[in-house]
Structures are given as C-alpha cells and as structure tokens.
Amino acid sequence: MISRLPLFMRGLSEKAWLQNLALCLLMILSLLLLVQTLGKAFRVVGYDFTVYLRSAAALIDGTDPYHTESFFPYTYPLTLAFCIIPLTWLPYWLSCVIWFLISLVVLALSGRITIVLLRRTGLVLDHRKLPIAILLLVTAMFSTIQNNLLNGQVNFIVLFFCLLFLKFFIEGKFIRSSVALSIAISLKLVPLILLGFLVFRKKVSVILLTLTLSTVMLFAPALITGQKILDYYSYYLNSFLLFNLDGRVSERIALNISYVLKVFFGLGTGSNSLLSVISFGLILSGIEIYSLRKRGAEVEVWRFCLYLLGILFISPMSQKHYLAYLFPSVGVGFAFFCLGRLRNNALDGWLLMLSLLNVVILAETFDRGPFYFIGTFLLFLLVSRQILFLSMGALPSRTAAGSG
C-alpha cells in the first residue's frame, strides 16, 4: 500500500497518511461551515449568538438583557451573557469566529471524553473499527452539528460539561464533577435533570455542593447589575420557565411527550409540559430503582445517556438544535455495535438504525410528523435494554459483529 503512494508520501505510514487525510478533510469542512455561519451571522436578524452578544452588552450598559433589540428572545440564565462579555469588546466578525472555534473545540473534546469513558467500560477500542464508529456518528448527526454551529448555539458547550461531570463522577472526583455540572446548569438549565442521577446514588453532599455552586454562578452577574438581577430573573422565571410549565408547549419539532401523544395519537391534553416531566420522571425512576444494584462504568454511561434523552422528551421548547443531546447515546451505541458489544447486536443494531432513519431521514424529509419522537423513543429503548440486561448480570451478545 505504501509503495503505491506518491513519492512525497512514502515516508508516512499508512495509518498516519489516513489520519492526515481525515484531518485535512475536517479542516476543509470546518472552513465551509464557518463561511456558512458568518453568512447567517450577518443577516439583518443575526443568529442566536447575536442575541447572546446583545444581552451581554445590555449587562454592561445597565439595561435589561431580556429586552434588547434582538429579533430572537434571550431565553437563558444571565451567566451565559456574563461569561461572553469579553467578546463584546471585539469586532463582531471576530467574536463570531471565536465562538465558532470554541464550539468546534468542545465538540472534539466531548468526543475525546466519550472515548475515555468507553475505555473505562472495559470496551477494547480496536483502532481499525473506532474510526468507522466515529465516521458513522459524524455522518448520521451532521445535520445536527451543522444546525448548532450555524446558529451559534451553546449546546455543545453544555454537553461538554455534562460529559465532564460524568467522567469525574466515575473517577470518584466528586468535587470536580460538581463544578462541571454547576457550570452546565448555569449556562442552560436543562442539565438540572442530572440532579436525579445524583439523587438515586444518594450523593447528598455532591447535590448540595452543585446547588450551591450553581446558585453562585447564576447570580455572578449581580457583580454588574446589582439588585436589578432579581427583577431580571423574576421576568425570566415568569415569562419563560413557569409560562412553559403552565401548559403551553412551544414545539418547533415534535419531541415533548404530552404534545406528541395529543397531536399525533389523540391522547392527553397535549399542552401540559409538566405532564411530560412527571411521566418521564416515573419511567426513569422505575428503570433506576430496578437497576440500581448494578454498579460500574458501563451501566453508568448508559444511565447517563438516558438522562440526556430525557431533556428532549420533557423540554417544552423543542428545537432541532436540542438533538445535540442525542450524541452520547448515538456515539456509545455505534461504538458498542461496531465492536459487537450490544446485548443483542443484531436486534439493537436495528433499533439504532431505525432510530436514525426517523431522526435523520424521515424527520428531515417531512416537516410535520412524530419522526423525531419515534427516533428518540427507539434510542430510548436501545439504551434502556442495555441498562436492564446489565442489571440482570447478562453478558453482551457477540453473535452478530464478533468480539472485536
């Protein structure tokens, strides 16, 4: 193989050449995505990161960060705006480029953490098969990657800190895990669901530390706003949090449990987001209670994936960029499938493929339909199966893909 390479490449091993080729392709793709992102950033209405910057500028100016001239509303805690204040001092184009690069870096680091977690499960990562799993993941989730990057969303940063929380937790570094989770919560409240992960493990001290640190981070902008932060958060609580929990599901894509049951299956009220929280909470609690006697990195990774799937099921404002929280489930699923380590590699492989068929193809083809929900639900079944079989002490089936 090496002898067939051009003369200037013969000094490289086959593996190094393939890695360099992949890196070049990745850089070209990233450049194209950056160009697309800047195109959206310089629209009249801007994009999501424009909203973040304007709210950050409002903090500095002493005005209300939830009422700016932005076309889109700012629907996050003030910590996010507070953290990006230095970017408001730079030219707009440069701030957009830096934010894009930050998102790319944390996405890559999230992949790295996932690989570390997979190794801790005892999975022998065959370097011949691991690139296949990564390629499958990027290909399957490219639309979600593109959507988050082009809209300047914060999800990849939040996902990174959630994965960091799990890594430190499995390593027994509970203070660090608490700090990571607190950062994630202070940027976007949806990681609050991971407090349930700690509750079932009776980590009271970690919960208290996380709540304390989260509160400190949430109110850190008071260093600039003073007491006005209470008014800002009062508006945020009533206009976004309680408003959405009070039965007004704002669906961009059909994922919220109560919304889907009503609109597509004629069940329930279809408007009560709190019903989604309660119903998923009961299901998750049942799985946790049944499987809690099983410990170890592998089952904890699968349980963590289950919690992130819950973000999609219970969110009252489902949008396409929320699909970023599918990444751990899809990535771990692909890795285990490629190495033949799923409980039933054939059946679970089909669940994974059917899930992606709904999320990637059917949902993208048809604007309206429960395809996002069906795909996420199939992924939920896949993850739940791994947890339940592990809790019964069942060994993974290796009948379909070999043992790697």
- What pTM, to 2 d.p., does this model score? 0.87
> What 8-state DSSP symbol labels residue 192?
G
Worst-scoring range by mean pLDDT, 62-76, 91-105, 254-268, 354-368? 254-268
What is the structure's pLDDT at 369? 66
Average confidence score pLDDT of the chain: 82
For residues 272 and 279, the answer to whether their CB atoms sit within 8 Å is no
- Interval 236-293: pLDDT, tens: 888 777 655 554 444 455 566 656 555 555 555 545 566 777 778 888 889 988 888 7
Report the C-alpha gap between 309 and 355 in whole angstroms.
Answer: 13
What is the structure's pLDDT at 159? 96
Question: Which backbone phi and psi does 174 adopt, to 5 degrees?
Answer: -70, -30
Distances (CA, A) of 297 to 121, 171, 379: 5, 9, 20
Query: pLDDT grade, residue 1 (50/70/90)?
Result: very low
Report the C-alpha gap between 227 and 233 in whole angstroms.
Answer: 11
- Interval 302-313: pLDDT, tens: 999 999 998 888
230 has pLDDT over 50: yes
Report the C-alpha gap between 116 and 167 in whole angstroms.
Answer: 8
Residue with the bigger pLDDT between 16 and 238: it is: 238
Which percentage of the chain shows pLDDT scores above 90?
A: 40
Q: Would the CA dihedral through 255, 256, 262, 263 be positive or negative?
A: negative
Report the C-alpha gap between 149 and 154 in whole angstroms.
Answer: 9
What is the structure's pLDDT at 367? 67
Q: How far is CA 380 from the centre of its chain?
A: 15
Boundaries of every domain in the chain = 1-41, 45-98+153-249, 121-150+251-404
Which percentage of the chain shows pLDDT scores above 70?
A: 78
402 has pLDDT over 50: no
What is the structure's pLDDT at 400? 37
Worst-scoring range by mean pLDDT, 40-49, 211-220, 244-253, 352-361? 244-253
10 has pLDDT over 50: no
- Interval 89-144: pLDDT, tens: 999 999 999 999 999 999 989 988 988 888 887 776 666 666 666 777 788 888 88
Residue written as token pair 């973040």: 52
